[in-house]
Amino acid sequence: MGDLAFLPNWPPLANQMIWVGVLLVAGVAGGELVQRVLRLPRITGYAAAGLALGPDGWGLIGRPLLEELVVFVDIAIGLVLFELGTRLDLAWLRRSPGLALMGVAESLGAAALVFVTLHWHFGHEPLVAAVAAAIAMSTSPAVLIRVAADLRAQGQVTERALILTAINGVIAFLALTVLIPWLHLEYRGGWLTILTQPLYLLAGSLVLATAAAQATLKLVQLVGKHAERQFIVVIGLVVLTVGAAVALKLSVLLTLLAMGAMVHNADRERHFMVVDSGNAGQLFYLLLFVITGARLDLGLVATAGAAGLAFVLVRFAGKALGVLAVAPFIGLNLRHAGLVALALTPMSGLAVVMVYETATLYPEVRASVAPVVLAAVVILELFGPVATQFAIRQAGEAGAGR
Amino acid sequence: MTLEFKSSEPLTLGVELELQLVNTRDYNLTRGASDLLAAVAKRKHPGDIKPEITESMIEISTSVCSSPEQVRAELDAMRAVLVEGAAKLNLGVAGGGTHPFQQWTERRIYDTPRFRHVSELYGYLAKQFTVFGQHVHIGVRSGDEAVRLTHALARYVPHFIALSASSPFAGGADTQFDSSRLNVVNAFPLAGFMPYVADWDEFEHYFGEMRAFGIVESMKDFYWDIRPKPEYGTIEIRVFDTPLTVARSAELAAYAQALAAAVRDDRSWSPHPSQYLVYSYNRFQACRFGFGATIVDPFTREHRLLADEIVAALSRVAPHAERLGGGEAVGRLLSAAAARANDAKVLREVLEKRGSLPDVVRAACAAWHGS
């Protein structure tokens, strides 16, 4: 017996590395399968693979492991937000202010309808309904960026949907930042918090973002015009900044988005090359979607499915109203405006993070409105990418070949 | 069948420019023609703005102009309209004979029957043909005059190439050519020069033969450097790369017009077939080396520096240009030739200074937008 101790136990004990690998491989395979057989976006396949392996599927990947993998989600979301920030092209918004107005209109449209529905129809308290409404404003940047890249989309519907996603992200984070202290007041009391917490979050996040953006631009100049090396600089600084934001209890979302926006808009000499989510970037997107998929709670569809579906529908209606109302002023025809609104449908990992960020601070949110938002995420995890892909294809902006 | 040559006012000018549409993020070519055309559809401007074979290209053309100044004014007006429309769509419009780093596999063909036919016939050449040229039309009275002028201007083709060259980069690399665009044009079966015909009757005979062979259907099927355009009553010079600025476009038109005027006045000159013995060699030299090319004179067999030839020719036609309202324009070309400064040089300097090809395209946009 002792002589054969070099042999593994039987059955061998699976370590975590194996499961992470299984998750990745299943994600890639799921993505290809879904794309080739069903002609659906790959990321829908990534999420489906994650869901299948996760606790609500075959259960191969347990909750403890998922908790450990959250670090990848944080890095991936950091990268996505940074890339989204670089798309917040202020020069374009100055030239076409109607576009900024459209972003505000569709955000407020979605928030208003979601608030009214959750508060009056489903009877949630105003404050938690407002939190859900704030989350409803944001579109999943990861889905939009990835679907557009996969389709090699070029054109005005795609470009406008992307910048609107950047705008509604900013508005959603600002709204949450302002709402969180009110939750604090409601459940814990203390006016000092109401006044100082948003100030700390906003000012602190912006200061950190400025420092991170300056560091990025400096380092990028150091490595020169090499896209791959610049990408490594970005990964390094994004991870560092996410860590710093967490340590300082600042808003990771706001900080990273602002960092990306500053890198793009402060870089007058264009030292920074575009972060094209190339090979390494795609890995993070894959991880983001499989892990988000694995964390989906299907049980919510049973308990909060009706409210979740209502959330999805009124959110879309609100966004469509906002986009259509402003479209004539920026020379966007009705058909294209409808397609832009449709492209803005996805909600994904980012919404989950926003829910958890508030729910950790205020468990009241977890009990009341979180299930509704998460049920909506379950629905949109599958249908959101499909809607975006459909919109881009209908606009004739998808490239030939995949 | 006969090709009817429509007579037009001699020495009138028309200019067409093929322009690049790029995004302002990484400055690659982008799908933007239909969006941009829709955005400028209601704006008033002289001339015409229309789609081209791919969604990453648009073409602008002036009306029939009497002077280089009018060409310049019309191009400027169209440029203003396009720049305003492009700004709202976050697009960049640029000159330059090639896009420095685009991959031809990424191009999409604009959906019209003619373009689809071209795409089916030529395969990948149609997509590789995403190159950007300037065409200059010069009015002539008759087909005979058109043939004579086509032959006369053929010897100035190297001049046109060196002065307009703006395509040093292609596929992400420096091609070592000042105009790499013409290498793409050369791949087409009916590229090059018009065969040696003495007059319009002979040309019609030639065209009839080519039609009878089933090789061509219309004049559009000839991709010659200079070709008669019977339905407009012009000859069309097609060797120019689209310059980085509309100012240079108008200057090139002024030079072509002044040369045509000189040919009209010089009744002693007549075409000779041996000029075509050296044509392709001289053309290659100009594409490859720009002003530094060595040009062979088919009659004296002398080798001369192209820059010197151009300076001499510009000085020679300057009085004609003066009379036609292109004096200043030709003067500016003269200083450019003396300094051996063409757009290819400008683009190479940007790369040297800024370090990446997206920077080059960004500079090209700034030049064309006029900021």
| Digit-coded pLDDT (tens) for A87-101 | 999 999 999 999 999
| Residue A92, min C-alpha distance to chain B (Å) | 6
Number of domains in chain B: 1
Best mutation target, B56, B102, B356, B371, to test chain A (most A CBs within 10 A): B356
Torsion, Cα B211 B215 B217 B218, to 10 degrees, reads -90
Of B188 and B67, the structure prediction assigns the larger pLDDT to B67
| Ramachandran angles phi, psi of B241, nearest 5° | -70, 150
Contact in structure between A318 and A114 (CB atoms under 8 Å) = yes
Best mutation target, B43, B55, B108, B352, to test chain A (most A CBs within 10 A): B108
- For the stretch B59-88, pLDDT in tens is 999 999 999 999 999 999 999 999 999 999
| Residue B355, min C-alpha distance to chain A (Å) | 6
Tell me the C-alpha distance between A84 and A163, whole Å.
Answer: 8
List, as one string, the DSSP characters of B85-101.
HHHHHTEEEE--SS-SS
What confidence tier does A188 reach under pLDDT thresholds 50, 70, 90? low
CATH of the domain at B358: 3.30.590.20
Packed helices A370-394 and A42-53: angle between N→C axes, nearest 10 degrees: 150
Average pLDDT across chain B, whole number: 93
Least confident piece of the model among A189-203, A324-338, B125-139, B356-370: A189-203
Least confident piece of the model among A50-64, B71-85, B320-334: A50-64
User: Residue B139: its pLDDT value, please?
Assistant: 97
Strands B91-94 and B133-139: unpaired
Tell me the C-alpha distance between B364 and B353, whole Å.
Answer: 14
Q: Compute the radius of gyration of chain A from its Cα atoms.
A: 21
Domain ranges in chain A? 71-281+298-394
Helix (H, G, I), strand (E, B), or coil: what is residue B123? coil
Average pLDDT across chain A, whole number: 88
User: Residue A279: its pLDDT value, please?
Assistant: 64
* Number of Cβ atoms within 10 Å of the Cβ of B42: 7
pTM: 0.90
Helix (H, G, I), strand (E, B), or coil: what is residue B22? strand
User: Residue A8: its pLDDT value, please?
Assistant: 79
- B5 falls within a domain: no
- For the stretch B231-279, pLDDT in tens is 999 999 999 999 999 999 999 999 999 999 999 888 888 899 999 999 9
* Smallest CA–CA distance from B355 into chain A, residue: A225
Pick from B26, B106, B359: which is nearest to A274 by CB?
B26
Which residues of chain B have a Cβ shorter than 8 Å from any chain A Cβ?
23-26, 30-32, 35, 38-39, 55, 87-90, 106, 108, 354-356, 358-359, 362
Tell me the C-alpha distance between B47 and B249, whole Å.
Answer: 15
- B23 falls within a domain: yes
B96: left (phi over 0), alpha (psi -120 to 50) or beta: left
Residue B104 pLDDT greater than 60, yes or no = yes
CB contact under 8 A, A95 and B87: yes
What confidence tier does A402 reach under pLDDT thresholds 50, 70, 90? very low
Average of pLDDT values for A100-121?
96
Average of pLDDT values for A291-315?
88
In the 3-class helix/strand/coil scheme, how is B287-334 assigned residue by residue?
Answer: HHHHHHCEEECCCCCCEEEHHHHHHHHHHHHHHHHHHHCCHHHHHHHH
What confidence tier does A189 reach under pLDDT thresholds 50, 70, 90? low
* Smallest CA–CA distance from B34 into chain A, residue: A155
Average of pLDDT values for A352-369?
78
User: Residue A364: its pLDDT value, please?
Assistant: 74
Percent of chain A with pLDDT over 70: 96
In DSSP terms, B240 is beta-bridged to B134
Least confident piece of the model among A165-169, A267-271, B161-165, B224-228: A267-271
Average of pLDDT values for B178-195?
91
User: How many helices and strands (H and E) does chain A possess?
Assistant: 17, 0
Among the listed residues A292, A298, A387, A388, the one whose alpha carbon sits nearest the alpha carbon of residue A349: A292
Residue B53 pLDDT greater than 80, yes or no = no
Tell me the C-alpha distance between B265 and B182, whole Å.
Answer: 31
Residues in chain B, how many? Answer: 371
* Smallest CA–CA distance from B36 into chain A, residue: A156
Among the listed residues A315, A285, A270, the one whose alpha carbon sits nearest the alpha carbon of residue A91: A270
User: Residue B249: its pLDDT value, please?
Assistant: 98
Average of pLDDT values for A122-150?
91
Residues of chain B contacting A274 with CB distance shorter than 8 Å? 25-26, 358
* Smallest CA–CA distance from A99 into chain B, residue: B88
Least confident piece of the model among A26-35, A171-180, B144-153: A171-180
User: Residue A401: its pLDDT value, please?
Assistant: 47
| Residue B364, min C-alpha distance to chain A (Å) | 15
- For the stretch A257-284, pLDDT in tens is 999 999 999 988 888 887 665 667 788 8
Tell me the C-alpha distance between A76 and B216, whole Å.
Answer: 57
Range of the domain at B253: 13-369
A152 touching B, CB under 8 A? yes
CB contact under 8 A, B355 and A154: no
Residue A11 pLDDT greater than 90, yes or no = no
- B8 falls within a domain: no
- For the stretch B311-325, pLDDT in tens is 999 999 999 999 999
Pick from A96, A154, A330: which is nearest to B31 by CB?
A154
Question: Hey, what are A84's tokens?
Answer: 């989204």
Residues of chain A contacting B31 with CB distance shorter than 8 Å? 154-155, 397
- B1 falls within a domain: no
- B66 falls within a domain: yes
A400 touching B, CB under 8 A? yes
User: Residue B24: its pLDDT value, please?
Assistant: 92
- CA angle in degrees (0–180, nearest 5) for A36-A39-A42: 75
Average of pLDDT values for B26-32?
91
CB contact under 8 A, A154 and B356: no
Fold of A71-281+298-394: Na+/H+ antiporter like fold (1.20.1530)
